[in-house]
Structure 1
Amino acid sequence: MASFNITLEDHSPLITYAPAGAWTDTPANDSLASDYSDASFHTTSAQDASATIQFNGTGISIFGGKRSNYGTFKLTVDGKTITEASAASSSSSTKQLLASASGLEDGPHTAVFTHAGGGAIDIDSAVLEARVGSGSMRLTQKEIDDSDSSITYAPATSWNANSRPEFINNTLRFTSSPDATASMSFFGDAVAIYGTVAPDHSDFQITLDGKQTTLRGGAGGMVRTLRPKSLLYFASNLGMQDHQISLQPVSTENAPFLDLDGITVYSAVKTNNNQASPSGATPTINQPAPPSDTAGVQGAQASKATSRTTIIAAAVGGGLGFLLLLALGLFLFFRRRRRQRRAYVDDDLSPKSPHLPIQKPRFSEAPSTIANRWSFQTPFVPQSRVTSVASSYESTAPMMKDVPIIKPPSPARMSNRSSAVGPNRPMRAPYTPGTPSRPARPPTLNYDYWDGGPEGQPSRAV
């Protein structure tokens, strides 16, 4: 089956308002009127006032307004209460879904929207859910304008044309003759007739395949002004076959006019067969149906879409992984380089002292470079009374200024030292240059005697 929705505005003759005079069509002074569907709504404050809709289909939805002073409502379908709720709201709003019923058995139903108490309520529109055809079929619809030659107006002189922008395709046919009829043959499963309702429009009678239905045209307070493009009649579940329908006024004494704006025929065709109607009226078929293996094609398309999604996800994930690895590599590289630079700077800035043997020159340097770093032309100046005996770490860099140079005493003068040293002080052996076989106690400097040697040469203390 093929499903579709069809909308009934609040001014449609398919909605029966009761009791008479309990409902008002769009109060003229209402500030929210223009916000409603088709700028119209029906409202009531009467307890138990109802709006009844008879339809063929599988569901119905009721739309209306919500306001701070509104009351409660109830929706029943085939005598069973579906919804009972309040239309009150802190802020005013329109075109709100008030109640709905769906999943009904496809067939005739009666829906009643009732004022349950409290303040006023309103109804803006109703949407019907309908079906055509059976099995695996798709919907087609054919819109027939009032000027179409498939519609027969009789007698021809009783019908006149009118043109206004609010009409379907800007045209409309109307009559004020009590014996005027408009008829048409069609092939399909459902049909809808559109026209206008107004206070000066008469009730009318629809005859479909010999079955007559009388509906109101707008007189008697049903509407307070002309309402164009109103759904005058709708019937479904007719069966996919030829049908005959006609329209004619019922009474023209106080409301003489009847309008016809357009007719829509709904039908269904099999998805694998574009069959034509056996009658002269052929339903419109949009495009050839898809092949019977639609499920296979859809499955292949879904598989292809899934594969494409997987590839895209893998590419994105690989790209992100590469960027993360690249960032990690750069981080490690710059951290190592920073550490090496810091170590180099610390090594250059840290003092090298002959008294700290653990501070050795860098082994990566060439011997010539090491020699240059430790060769100076300035004489050795002792830093303290205790010096290191490790000759390989001696440094000749001056540590103090204006310190007298210590020179070893000459042998000639060693014999005369006894008087200077004192009779009770033993004589020391003269100093013999050379490297001791093992580290000895550092010599003690005697600042009482100095022996000058050749200028620019370091002297040793006695």
Structure 2
Amino acid sequence: MGRWTDDGSFLAVVSVIIAFFSCLFVYGFLTRIPWTSRYSNNGTSTLTSTYGASATLTFNGTGVWIYGAMRSNHGPYNVTLDGELYQDNGYYSGDIFQQVLFSAVGLDGSTPHTVSIINSPTDPIQQLLDVDYIVYQMEIPDNEQEVNLQDTASNFLYSTSGWTTSPANLSSYNGTTGQVTCSFVVRYSLVVNAGVLAGSQVELYGVVGPSNGAFMVQLDGGLSTTLNASRTRSSPQTVLYQANGLNPGNHTMRITNAPFSGQSLSLDYAVIGQSR
């Protein structure tokens, strides 16, 4: 599935699945994360009963789908996509999981889109909103493949101090290797070399949990983005940062730990697009 461009190249369409506990989401008053086997990703979901509670994601893609549960104690919710408002209802007489709560296709894949889902209950008996994960589709060059880079790869440039290669629960890391720092000033860089690793996308994976905190990401010297890896339950191999639609060439991603009080930044591996 994909399309041909005017210059004769082919863009393939791929689907990206992001759990709602990922750092990519900006939350407003979402209250807790329940764990049950009927949810995706080993049983993860984000639940709220607060009016106006929201989750927001910015992405580059051509389509987006939000998944969650529908139950008898769920009620109305709103979704905004690039400022346009949509209204729906999560009520169902039984309990059904991993349902499409919102979808949109035919989006411009060359520009960022922002989607938010907002709890908007009108009845105290039906006031819950339960979100599980989001899927968006993006276009990548057909001659590009995804390559995993372990944290020990030469592309990773660490500061000279402040890191440990023996984090807790190391066996849960991809390739059983990881890097953890608690220092505010420690930085980490990932460089994608032109011609060798000339990709249009990059994903950084690590751990989210109660011992993790805020960190800043700067891509290609641009403005820094602040994200938060603090969650009530620990989850390894989680997307910490993602960028796509990049031009082939050199890209540098700089990560800075910015803890509130002794919190750590736990890095695992990166996934990049590589020319075949």
Measured after TM superposition, the shift of residue 214 of structure 1 is 1.2
What is the CA–CA distance in structure 2 between the aligned matches of 1:5 and 1:156, rounded to whole Å? 38
Provide, for residues 305-327 of structure 1, a one-character-per-residue CA deviation record: whole Å limited to 9, x for no partner: xxxxxxxxxxxxxxxxxxxxxxx
Provide, for residues 142-176 of structure 1, a one-character-per-residue CA deviation record: whole Å limited to 9, x for no partner: 11112223212212553323353432223321111
| Residue 104 in structure 1 maps to residue 112 in structure 2 | no
The code of the aligned residue for 1:78 comes to D
Task: Indicate which of 197, 200, 204 corresponds to 2:208.
Answer: 197
Aligned to 1:128: 136
Task: Indicate which of 56, 61, 70 corresponds to 2:74.
Answer: 70
Query: SS at 1:169's partner residue?
Result: helix
Aligned to 2:14: 4
Bigger Rg, structure 1 or 2: 1
- Contact 2:206/2:240 (<8 A) preserved: yes
Provide, for residues 347-382 of structure 1, a one-character-per-residue CA deviation record: whole Å limited to 9, x for no partner: xxxxxxxxxxxxxxxxxxxxxxxxxxxxxxxxxxxx
What is the CA–CA distance in structure 2 between the aligned matches of 1:177 and 1:98, rounded to whole Å? 40
Task: Indicate which of 130, 142, 155 corresponds to 1:150.
Answer: 155
CA-based RMSD: 1.8
Per the normalisation by structure 2, the TM-score is 0.85
In structure 1, runs of 5+ residues without a counterpart are: 267-282, 286-462
Query: SS at 2:37's partner residue?
Result: helix
- Contact 1:199/1:255 (<8 A) preserved: no
| Residue 248 in structure 1 maps to residue 264 in structure 2 | no
Provide, for residues 94-114 of structure 1, a one-character-per-residue CA deviation record: whole Å limited to 9, x for no partner: 211111111101111110111
Measured after TM superposition, the shift of residue 63 of structure 1 is 0.6
- Contact 1:65/1:87 (<8 A) preserved: yes
Aligned to 2:37: 34
- Contact 1:159/1:180 (<8 A) preserved: no
Task: Indicate which of 208, 221, 232 corresponds to 1:210.
Answer: 221
- Contact 1:160/1:175 (<8 A) preserved: no
Measured after TM superposition, the shift of residue 138 of structure 1 is 3.6
The code of the aligned residue for 2:233 comes to T
| Residue 25 in structure 1 maps to residue 32 in structure 2 | yes
What is the CA–CA distance in structure 1 between the aligned matches of 2:165 and 2:144, rounded to whole Å? 33
Task: Indicate which of 13, 35, 38 corresponds to 2:23.
Answer: 13
In structure 2, runs of 5+ residues without a counterpart are: 1-10, 193-197
What is the CA–CA distance in structure 2 between the aligned matches of 1:23 and 1:157, rounded to whole Å? 33
| Residue 50 in structure 1 maps to residue 54 in structure 2 | yes
Equivalent pairs counted in the alignment come to 253
Provide, for residues 113-158 of structure 1, a one-character-per-residue CA deviation record: whole Å limited to 9, x for no partner: 111214201110111211224xxx3431111112223212212553
- Contact 2:143/2:275 (<8 A) preserved: no
What is the CA–CA distance in structure 2 between the aligned matches of 1:255 and 1:88, rounded to whole Å? 42
* Larger relative contact order (Cα-Cα within 8 Å, sequence gap ≥ 6): 2
Task: Indicate which of 258, 266, 272 corresponds to 1:259.
Answer: 266
What is the CA–CA distance in structure 2 between the aligned matches of 1:143 and 1:52, rounded to whole Å? 27
Provide, for residues 236-266 of structure 1, a one-character-per-residue CA deviation record: whole Å limited to 9, x for no partner: 1111122111212023x41420011111112
What is the CA–CA distance in structure 2 between the aligned matches of 1:233 and 1:40, rounded to whole Å? 19
Provide, for residues 289-314 of structure 1, a one-character-per-residue CA deviation record: whole Å limited to 9, x for no partner: xxxxxxxxxxxxxxxxxxxxxxxxxx
- Contact 2:144/2:199 (<8 A) preserved: no
Task: Indicate which of 239, 243, 256 corresponds to 1:231.
Answer: 239
| Residue 164 in structure 1 maps to residue 170 in structure 2 | yes
Aligned to 2:89: 86
Aligned to 2:7: none
Q: 1:35-434 maps to which residues of 2 (within 5 A)? A: 35-38=38-41, 39-82=43-86, 84-106=87-109, 107-117=111-121, 118-133=126-141, 137-156=142-161, 158-162=163-167, 164-186=170-192, 187-211=198-222, 212-218=224-230, 223-251=231-259, 253-266=260-273, 283=274, 285=276
What is the CA–CA distance in structure 2 between the aligned matches of 1:232 and 1:90, rounded to whole Å? 36
Aligned to 2:5: none
Query: SS at 2:178's partner residue?
Result: strand
The code of the aligned residue for 1:169 comes to G
Per the normalisation by structure 1, the TM-score is 0.52
Give the 3 Å change call, closer, same or farther, for CA 150–55 of structure 1 in structure 2: same
